[in-house]
Structure formats: structure tokens, C-alpha cells
Amino acid sequence: MKPQTRTPGHRRLTRAVAALAAGLVGLGLTAAVGAPAQAFDPQHTVMQGSQTTMGQTDGPVWTLEMTGDRIYAGGQFTSTRPSGAAAGTGETGQGFLAAFDEATGAPITEFAPKLTNDYNGRAGVVRASVLTPDGSQLIVGGDFNLVDGKRANYLARFDARTGAFLGQVGNNGVDGPVQALAVSPDGTTLYVGGRFSRAGWSARKNVAAISLVNRATLGWAPTVSTPTRNEALRVTALAVSSDNQRVFLAGPFQQVNGSAAQGFAATDAATGALSAGFRSNYLYAPHSWGTAIEVADNEVFLGSRDDFTSGSRRNEGVYSLDATTGAVNWYANCYGDTFGLQVVGGDVYVASHAHDCAAAGGHPELNPRTYLAIHALNRSTGVVRPYFVQTSGNLDDANTRLLSRALASDGNQLVMGGGFLRVNGAAQANVVRFLAGSSAPEKPAYPTATAGPGYVDLRVRLGYDRDDTQLTYKVYRGWQTSAPIYIETRESVMWRTENVTFRDTQVTPGQQVYYRVEAVDPSGQSVMSVRTATVTVG
């Protein structure tokens, strides 16, 4: 077979396409798992898909906030430890609410509040958090009623810069566990969701609004009712529109104020009445319900889950809605419950256990099933962008197999919390962070060479990248890297094993040769393969 001439500066290399029986090996594409990848959105994400240094916790992280120089994590953990430290090494003993340095990721040991619950003797787990708009205060909610022995009924305030405890929220907090918090953009009102029956001295069922000016319980009091199957009635997510006019709530409910509202509703921020224009059935009855809400400018993003419905009537993806009218901008249908959302620039990062995003341009259902702890969507279109973060845990401990539950960002980095022991194959427990930029290819190509009479066949198993799908492969003969003998750009994804075979005919009988292959991502970062064994041309 005649060699093909490639672009100027490249040497000629034969790509054989006949059958093995004829003695020629073709440009091989073998899919070990599943179908070819979908058409990912080509624009690069803001964040890298490979992690950087970050402290760890010994249990799940349910909520995260980022200030000017701190990362606050709340959850069901009893200690933190440094990045890279094995369990039991360097433990701080700081439980349920902890701070980490935003620059280094190291635990901040001087922040050490003690959260407890003397009503029921249970752990003081933190399940929700929010920063005031000016960034001065951190407000947390959960299962505690004491902070450092001082009364703080399920809600507590801290100085976001120093971490100092500032007391409970409102006149008497609430009388049951808190699972959702939101602050109005003007900083005057805290909206609270969870499972409780009173706020301050007023009856409030599962939702309440508390003044951050005079501590009073306010009049916003929508009524949620009719729980979804096998779920306790509660509110698990809250957000406020950028114009202060609407409060969005989500959870395992089917009615709000006596009207149908499957798992999500938009209400008047003052009265709690349902807002005009918003549908009652963004999510499918009777089992789908909202789990995460994020507001950015005039968009509201809604994530959901459904543990019982099968087929196409299962809502587990993400909606983009007009925050004023309720009109649908797009719906990204990914199967695998959504738990957290974070908008950064043109990206919407989704904390989930997505396993089938084919309908949104992402990876299809595979066998064995492939889960992503974070995937990214194009904010304008909802199409999946290349972003492949994975976690894993201990099969005997359900708290280490939660993948991701919370996201936070300051625009320069993205932090994820959840329940896991490894991130992208490396040891990292329950909290991890990613810096802005592009990661180098994570897995290099792997070449093997086989000599024949007057040629060498080079079989290359392609690599992959955590935040790119289009990788360029440069084939080098020997140690020189100034002039590759072949260049090929291929879609490369971690769940598909792809092998490409090249035939080098620019060799002579008796010549001893070896090869290396460089994988280069669109940003120019690269990783070099190991060299093949030296082979003698027949």
C-alpha cells in the first residue's frame, strides 16, 4: 500500500485499511463499552477537570460557601485533615462546620465552633449555609441547637472573615431541622426551609422568613403539602430572584397553597402567594421533585430527582427558566439525580450522579454504568460540555458512595463536597477543589510496535482528558520531537477504549526503531507516552 502524504513538514506514513488476512492493519476504532460519544459542546469550561490540593473531612459534606479567603464546609463529619493525609493522620477533631484556606486548601484550625443538640442528643450536623450579600456573615442551618454551649435553635450566624459566633438567627430560631437557606439580594431577609412548625414565636410549617434587620418573623408563609412517594414533607432548596420579588422553593411536595406545584414553586417574596406565569408541572407528577435551585441574573436553574419513575417521564436533569415569567429557556435531560448547581461564567456545573446525558449531548448509558460526580452545561443552550469528574468510595459504607452534594465557587475555583474517598482515581475524602484553566491530558496514549518486512505497524491505545474530548496525537520515531511523522486529531473519552494503528513504511530492513506518542489538548498541554520496545524491521 502506498504511503500517504500529510501536511507539509510531516513525514509520510502508511495507514493500511485492508484486512488482517492480507497482511495489512487498518486504522482501527474499537469501542470496548457503549456507543460513540455524543456531540459535546466544543467550548472549554472555565474550570479544570483535574483537582488541586484541598483539605479533607472524615464524613459527608452537605453544604459549602466561599468568602474572600475562606472555604466553609458543613456536613456530617467529625474531623478535618490536610490534603494528602490518610484517615487518622493530622486529624483536627473539628466536626460539622469547618473552614479551609481558600488559597491553599488547608484546614483553618483556629475556627473551631462546637455544634451540638441537647434536645435529642444527636450530632449537630450542618445541612445548609448561605452568605449575606455583602459577604460579612455566614449563616448555617441544620440539626443543632447549641453553638459553644450557647442557644442557637437550628440556625446560627458567624462572622465570615474571623469565624466568630454571632448568635442565633431571629428571636428564637426555628423548632426543627433546617435544610435550605437563602438571603434576599438586599440583605434584609433570610428565607428558611426544612422540617419545622415554628419560627420565632410564630407558627410556620416547613418554610419561614426572618428579618435580618429586627429579627422578626415575617409574613412570607407559603403552605407546602402532599409529599412525594416515600419522602417526608419538607423544603430542601430555596433561592431569591435578583430583583427581590420572588422566592423559589423546591422539595418533595406536590402542592403549594393548595394548588398543584410538583416539587417546585415560585412565590411572591412578601406574601408567599404563587407567582403568575410559572407552571405547576415543570417536574412530572407524582414522584419528581426539586433538589437544587440557583439564580443568576434573570435566570433560575432547577435541578431535580426521581427515584421511582422509569422511562422518559423521569425528571433528573436541569431546567433554565426565565426568573420573571417562568418561561423555559432549555431543559438538559441527564439521568442521575441532581443535588447541586453552580453558575460560573458561561458554565452551569451540576453536582449529581449523572449516568446518561445523551439527550443533552453528553455521554450515553454505558455497561458497566459510568457515573459523573460533576458535569458542565453550556449556560446558553444546556448542551453538555466536556467535563468529567468522578468519585468513588467504599461499597460497604453508603456515606462514601454519595458522589457529590454541594458546589461553591468564587469564579477562580470550584469546590465540591459530598461523600467519597477518591476523586478521579486519587485519594481525596469528601471535599475537593478545581482551579480555573485547562487540565493536561490525564491518561497518555499507549503504543506498541510490531515489525514486518519493510514496515512497522504501530498500534496506539488513545488516552483521555478530564476537560477536553478532542485530543491531537503526534507520533515520533526515536527520541526526536521536532518533526512528528504523523498527526491525528481524534475524539477521546475515558469510557471508550479506542485503538488506532499506523503503518510506517519509511524504514529499511534491519533498522532498529522505537516510537513514542504525544497527546496534546486544545490548550497546548501535552503528555508523552512511554516508548515502545525496540523492534527490528524485517
pLDDT in tens, 225-242: 999 999 999 999 999 999
Q: Per residue in 469-499, pLDDT tens?
A: 999 999 999 998 999 999 999 999 999 889 9
CATH 2.130.10.10 fits 56-435, yes or no: yes
Reported as a single tens digit per residue, the pLDDT across 327-363 is: 999 999 999 999 999 999 999 999 999 999 999 999 9
Domains in the chain: boundaries: 20-38+441-536, 56-435
In the chain, how long is the greatest CA-to-CA distance? Answer: 92
The predicted model gives 364-391 an average pLDDT of 96
> Tens of pLDDT along 177-206?
999 999 999 999 999 999 999 999 999 999
Number of other CB atoms surrounding residue 39 within 10 Å: 11
Beta bridge partners of 499: 461
Nearest-CA neighbor of 433 among 130, 58, 70?
70
Q: What angle do CA 73, 79, 85 make, to 5 degrees?
A: 100
The correct answer on CATH 2.40.40.20 for the domain covering 20-38+441-536 is no
Q: Which three cell numbers stand for residue 178?
A: 433546617
How distant, in Å, are the alpha carbons of 469, 520, 530 from that of 440? 12, 8, 16
Residue 338: CB partners within 8 Å, gap ≥ 6? Answer: 291, 292, 303, 304, 305, 316, 317, 318, 350, 351, 352
Cα separation, 523 vs 521, in Å, equals: 5
Nearest residue to 529 (alpha-carbon basis) of 445, 458, 443? 445
Q: CA-CA distance, 340 to 86, in Å (whole number)?
A: 27
Q: 154 falls in which pLDDT band (50, 70, 90)?
A: very high
In this predicted structure, the answer to whether residue 16 has a pLDDT above a threshold of 60 is no
Helix or strand holding residue 490 (H, E): strand 486-491
Using CA atoms of 31, 33, 35, 37 in order, give the dihedral in degrees to the nearest 10. -90
For residue 121, what pLDDT is reported? 83
Share of the chain above pLDDT 90, in %: 88
What is the SS3 assignment for 163?
coil
pTM: 0.92
pLDDT at 4 over 50: no
CB atoms within 10 A of CB 280: 17
Q: What's the pLDDT score for residue 480?
A: 87
User: Which of 15 and 196 is assigned the larger pLDDT?
Assistant: 196
Residue 38 has pLDDT above 90, yes or no: no
Over residues 410-458, the pLDDT tens digits come to 999 999 999 999 999 999 999 999 999 999 999 999 999 999 999 999 9
Amino acid at 437: G
Band of pLDDT at residue 42, cut at 50, 70 and 90: confident
Average pLDDT, the chain: 92
Q: Give SS3 for 437.
A: coil
Is the pLDDT score of 43 beyond 70? yes
Residues 6 or more apart whose Cβ sits within 8 Å of residue 167: 150, 152, 156, 157
What is the bridge-based pairing of β-strands 264-268 and 246-250?
A: antiparallel
- Interatomic CA distance for residues 525 and 462, integer angstroms: 16
On the 0-12 / 13-18 / 19+ scale of CB atoms within 10 A, 10 is middle
Q: Has residue 287 got a pLDDT over 60?
A: yes
The winner for highest mean pLDDT among 9-23, 33-47, 406-420 is: 406-420
